[in-house]
């Protein structure tokens, strides 16, 4: 059973083609090739649960690498699309 990470500072990171920070977490059930989005990890840590399929994260200032909690907004895909209009 996966346990929500409280810290990943010693984990390998890289930038995705889309510009997001990825963290090497092969044990995460939603990782892809062992990588997972840092902004999702931050929200999961805050909520103490894995995000649902329908939940997405909006970067308020639209800087995909600014993962400060005050810059992240948990929303639905529809809300996310409206935020970008």
| pTM of the predicted model as reported, rounded to 2 decimal places | 0.92
Q: What per-residue confidence (pLDDT) applies to 1?
A: 83
Q: Where are the alpha helices (DSSP H) in 1-85?
A: 38-47, 77-83
For 10-29, what is the mean pLDDT? 97
pLDDT (0 to 100) of residue 83: 76
Residues 17 and 37 sit within 8 Å (Cβ to Cβ): no
Task: Let me know if residue 64 belongs to a domain.
Answer: yes
**Assigned domain for 21 exists:** yes
Residue 73 placed within a domain: yes
Give the per-residue pLDDT at 15: 98
Whole-number Cα distances in Å, 70 to 1, 24, 26, 45, 74? 29, 24, 27, 14, 11
Which structural domain, as residue segments, surrounds residue 32? 13-83
Domain count, the chain: 1
Does some domain include residue 38? yes
Q: Could you tell me the strand order of the sheet in which 35-37 lies? A: 13-15, 21-24, 35-37
Q: Is residue 32 part of a domain?
A: yes
In a domain, 42, yes or no: yes
């Amino acid at each position: 059973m996966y346990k929500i990470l409280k810290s990943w500072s010693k984990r390998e990171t890289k930038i995705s083609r889309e510009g997001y920070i990825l963290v090497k977490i092969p044990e995460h059930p939603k990782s892809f090739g062992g990588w997972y989005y840092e902004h999702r990890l931050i929200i999961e840590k805050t909520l103490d649960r894995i995000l649902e399929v329908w939940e997405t994260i909006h970067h308020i200032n639209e800087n995909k690498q600014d993962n400060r909690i005050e810059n992240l907004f948990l929303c639905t895909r529809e809300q996310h699309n409206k935020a970008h209009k």
